[in-house]
Amino acid sequence: MRCRAVVHRLVRMGNLMVALLAVPGYGNSLGKKVTSTDITFYDAKKDQDTVTFVEPTRYPEKLAPLFYTVSLANKAIVVVDELNSTFGECAVMLECSGVQSGYIILRNYLVQEKVEPLIKGTILEKFEFVEDDPAVLRERLLKEASQKKTTSPDQIQCAGTVPVDHAFNVKGVGTVVLGVVMKGKVEKHEDMKVLPSEKTAQIRSIQKHDDDFDQAYEGDRVGLALKNVGVEDLDRGTVLTADASIKSTALLEGQASLIRYWPTPLKSGMALHLGHWTQFIPSKVDTIVDKEDKRRPTLRLVLEKELVYLPGDRAVVTYLDGGRLRIVGTIELP
């Protein structure tokens, strides 16, 4: 096992990452805008507890921001103004990314009784319908964040992994990256591999919501100042890790699971994108290895760049030319 529990005491700050699937700018009513590109981050903080809301600013014209938003989150808020294909695509992305809980807010006179039959059998069936009251919802989520402080930082002995979502130079500091700790623990002065390159970076400092820390843990939103690596060596999708079990490959073979709404079988030569952590990588179907079950084919894919992953994880498979439905399903990573 890569992680083990050692002792039990409450010392860590609580943090919650929440995907905000709503009209652009809705996050202004929930928190303070801190970073905005094709995805936008908003922070809410109370004492030592924080909630980070992530909004897919360039969605629906681009699918990648929706994937990034959902992949970073462990909870979601879905604000429904209209029952359309965008609402359906968001529901499918949440399902494929494994976001198991969240809230649904109905607007424009939509009623729960009309929506419930449409989400029956989907992941949204597990979500709770709530009123459109951002102040109440923010306080509720901050309380949930505080309840995540179930273990002490020093009881987790697990090599850390941080996929990068933004990288830039800060005057007087140098190279800084933003990301979420997906696995384990990262520490100040620790050396981290910079995958898929051959480089190694040292963590000069760690910030969480503008406060300095010596460590960060799974689920924390962090800013890391780095040594021995430049911004030109980093982009969204770069993975910082000290975990020796992390793999990277540009040739992937795994079993896919197509969503029930996907209309046609996959074919050799088809151009797909794979989404994992903050990676969204173009690929091509080289071979359909196993065609026996058309809903669960085994695929051999050739990727444009190496995919970095933990064995046993899943990646989201998308087809950008799919029209109203661009999400194909998932693929198991060997």
Query: What domains, with CATH codes, occur in the chain?
Result: 15-146 (3.40.50.300), 158-241 (2.40.30.10), 247-332 (2.40.30.10)
In which band, very low, low, confident or very high, does the pLDDT at 48 lie, cut at 50, 70 and 90? Answer: confident
Sheet holding 15-21, edge to edge: 32-36, 40-46, 49-55, 15-21, 75-80, 102-106, 128-129
Given this model, what pLDDT does residue 1 score?
A: 37
8 Å CB contact between 299 and 287: yes
Rounded CA-CA distance 242/191 in Å is 7
Between 21 and 294, the more confident residue is 21
What are 80-86's contacts with CB under 8 Å, separation 24+? 80/104, 80/105, 80/106, 80/107, 80/110, 80/115, 81/23, 81/107, 81/108, 81/110, 82/108, 82/110, 83/110, 83/114, 83/115, 83/118, 85/324, 85/325, 86/60
Residue 150 pLDDT > 70: no
Residue 5 pLDDT > 80: no
Q: 277: closest CA among 331, 327, 315, 328?
A: 315
Given this model, what pLDDT does residue 62 score?
A: 97
Query: What is the Rg, in whole angstroms, of the alpha carbon atoms belonging to the chain?
Result: 20
Cα angle vertex 186, ends 43, 14, to 5°?
35
Neighbour-count burial of 286, counting CB atoms closer than 10 A to its CB (0-12 exposed, 13-18 middle, 19+ buried): middle
Half-sphere exposure (Cβ direction) of 124: Cα atoms closer than 13 Å: 23
- Tokens found for residue 6: 């050692």
Average pLDDT score, the chain: 93
Q: 312: closest CA among 159, 157, 183?
A: 183
Q: Which residue has the tokens 């030319």?
A: 321
Mean pLDDT of 12-28: 91
